[in-house]
Structure formats: C-alpha cells, structure tokens
Amino acid sequence: MTQVAEEKVWQALSRVIEPDFKKDLVTLKMIENLKIEDGKVSFTIVLTTPACPLKDEMKNACNEALRSVPGVTSTEIAFTARTTSGTFSGKAPITGVRNVLAVSSGKGGVGKSTTSVNLAVGLQALGAKVGILDADVYGPNIPMMLGIKTQPKQVENRFIPPSSNGIACMSMAFLVPPGTPLIWRGPMLHGVIQQFVRDVEWGELDYLIVDMPPGTGDAQLSLAQLVPLSGAVIVTTPQEVSLSDSRRGLAMFQKVNVPILGIIENMSMFVCPNCHHETPIFSQGGGEMAAKELKVPFLGRIPIDLSIREGGDQGVPIGIAQPQSPISKSYETIAGQIASAISILNAGAKPIQIANFG
C-alpha cells in the first residue's frame, strides 16, 4: 500500500480556493485536525460562519484535489465555524453578539417583519445562533410571528429575552399593553433602544437581526446610528416605486456608514394553489432593477404564499412548519448569501460596491 505523504496532502489542499475569499484553504488557515490513517485522510474545515452556503462546493473541491495524491483511498471532511465579528460601523459591540444585521424597508406592509423572522429561521437552519431585536416601534409584531407569549425576565438591571425554537427576541411589544398606539418622541425612543442594545442578555449569538421601523425618517436614521450594525438588507415589493424607496434606504444607511448587503424582493408572484398559474400581483422585476441601478446585490425573491402569511399569524414561521418546502429553502439561500457577505466584510475585503448617493 502506498504511504500517504502529509506534505502532498497539504500541497493538494493549498490548490483549493475558498470561493468567497478567493484564496486557498491552507493560506486562510481553514484546515485543522489533519489526520492520515493508512489511506484515509480526515480534517476539519473551519468556516467564518456556520451559515456558509458553500460547504458542499468546498468539500467536492477538496475531494477532487486529494484524488491526485498517491495512496489516498478515502476522505472524511468535517466542518466547524468560528464566526467572525464585524466592525459594527465603529460602535461598541453588543456583548456576546458577533454580527448585527438590519432588515429595513422604505414603507410598511411589504413584509419586512415576515422577512426578518424567516431569515432568522434560515440562518438557524444553516447552523447559526440567532436573535431578533424587534425595533419596529410602530408595529412590533415579531413576538406574535414567533409565537412568543412570555415576557422577558428581569435579573437585576438586565433583560433575559424570551425565545421560541431557539430564537431569542426582544421587542417593543413587551413594553406596552397590546393595542396601545405607540407614539415615540426622540429621546424616549433613544432610551429604549439604548436599553435594548446594552441591557439585554443575548447570550452568544452569531447574528442579531434588527427589524427596523419602516421608512427612512429621523427615527429610523437615529436607530441606524445607535445600533452597532454590520450591514443592512432592504426588503421591497416588485412595483416600480420600489426603486425610489430602495434609494432612500440606501442613502440613509450610507449616512451612518452601514453597508447595504442587498435587496430582497417580497411578494414577487402569486402562484395559484389550484391551477398553478402565476400572477404578478404587485408587478414584477422591481427589486432586481433597483439592485442593478443601486449597484447592490439582488439577494432573491419570495412569492406571495398563503403559508407565509399563516405562519406569521399562527406564530410558526414557514421554515419551522415546513423546513423542506421550496419557500423555506429560498429563505435559507438568501440567509446564506447574507452570511457570506458579512463574512467577506468582516475579513476586510470589499466586494460589495456601494453606490454613491448624496
């Protein structure tokens, strides 16, 4: 039997390029626990996010490279992740939280909160630890969408957020009786957000998703300024007006130096459950067009679907109720792209071109 030379294994692995970082796995120090037993080569690939969507691609590339090494008869490739942290746009990080992602929209009713919840579920399905900060002061409904019925616990001066299916959530909804209209004055909002950012025990989180209030006014801007964000995604519907909405969103985050990771088009198409005919109720293509024009990535589209709405109303997101459904998989794909984009930003690379608006 040919003895496998460790040196040859390293050489082979140094030909495998990590698709996001465009460098090889050895240079990136992503290979650990390399063991060679007879013809079997085993090792662990250390990722920068557990939600990496490229695991299979990397595994196949490693297997391919090792095929040329004399004596290798089998491989065992495991994955682990040490999630990288961002620069938090220059602000103090939230204890235990590695990355903070804003989900925003130019106006209400486009499905921003629904998207926040389902992206959280998607990131979790890919292996990440996730929480949601419901900062939608005008309509805080994340606890309802997650099926959370308990209040946060208070220990000394810290809040312990309740969670559902492993997703922790802190919300404006916990602070006021249901149905009470919320009218926030600047300093009051400031105080509550500060408290949410600094006085909540999130535990260890790979990603904290912030469901922003809809719009791009002063309240939203000061929120974007207060929260140490790694990046933001914009949710839009496909109509033409989405372009001006998205442009305003982009300009707002630019003002506070938060990179836009991309645009998600929600309510893209209605597929009739009976005849499967597709109807573009809210027109089509607006999200993609906006992304193209603003030079930010288009992250994908989500159709109008009864099970998404029901999942929100019943407090069981579609990704939990039907994890294998095509819609859940679409959310997962978008979540993976966002995780990759954050990892790339964290590594100091700048693949995301940010358009220049005044």
- 105 touching ligand ADP, by CB under 6 A: yes
Q: Does residue 248 touch ligand ADP according to CB under 6 A?
A: no
Q: Is 106 annotated to bind ligand?
A: yes
At its nearest, how many Å lie between ligand ADP and the CB of residue 115? 7
- 212 binding ligand ADP? (CB under 6 A): no
Residue 129 annotated as part of some ligand binding site: no
Dist. CA 170–CA 189, nearest whole Å: 15
Token pair for residue 148? 């959370």
Cα gap 53→38, rounded to integer Å:
32
Among 73-81, 173-181, 185-193, 298-306, which window interacts with ligand ADP (CB under 6 A)? 298-306
Using CB under 6 A as the binding rule, whether residue 302 contacts ligand ADP is answered as yes
147 labeled binding residue = no
Interacting residues with ligand ADP between 258 and 277 (CB under 6 A): 266-267
Q: How far is the CB of 267 from ligand ADP (least distance, A)?
A: 5
Residue choice 53, 106, 111, 228 for contact with ligand ADP (CB under 6 A)? 111
Check binding of 110 to ligand ADP (CB under 6 A).
yes
Q: How far is the CB of 315 from ligand ADP (least distance, A)?
A: 11
Please say which residue, 48 or 266, places its beta carbon nearer to ligand ADP. Answer: 266
d(CA 133, CA 194) in angstroms, rounded, equals 12
Q: How far apart are CA 237 and CA 263, in angstroms?
A: 10
Using the contact rule CB under 6 A, the part of the chain among 104-112, 217-225, 226-234, 340-348 near ligand ADP is 104-112
Q: Is 109 annotated as a binding residue?
A: yes
Residues at the interface with ligand ADP (CB under 6 A): 105, 108-114, 141, 214, 266-267, 302, 304-305, 308-309, 312
> Which parts are annotated binding residues for ATP?
106-113
